[in-house]
Amino acid sequence: MLKLLCGKDPMELGLKTCEGWNITMFLDHLGSCEKCSKSQGTLIEKLNSIIGGQTEDD
């Protein structure tokens, strides 16, 4: 499970639903949340691994 640095629940924010992750809302949150924006790269990497994306190292 991806934990946001701000401590908010991704489901309550609408970032994650029973159908999966809303990438647009996730990126909007990273851009607007002061705490999460500081670790934007790490959070995006974690989300990529959750949804099956590959990193440059793969």
The predicted-structure confidence for 27-47, as pLDDT tens digits, reads as follows: 999 999 999 999 999 999 999
d(CA 32, CA 27): 9
pLDDT over 90 at 25, yes or no: yes
- Tokens at 12, concatenated: 């309550």
Residue 34, exposed/middle/buried by CB under 10 A (0-12, 13-18, 19+)?
Answer: exposed
- Tokens at 16, concatenated: 């994650």
d(CA 27, CA 50): 15
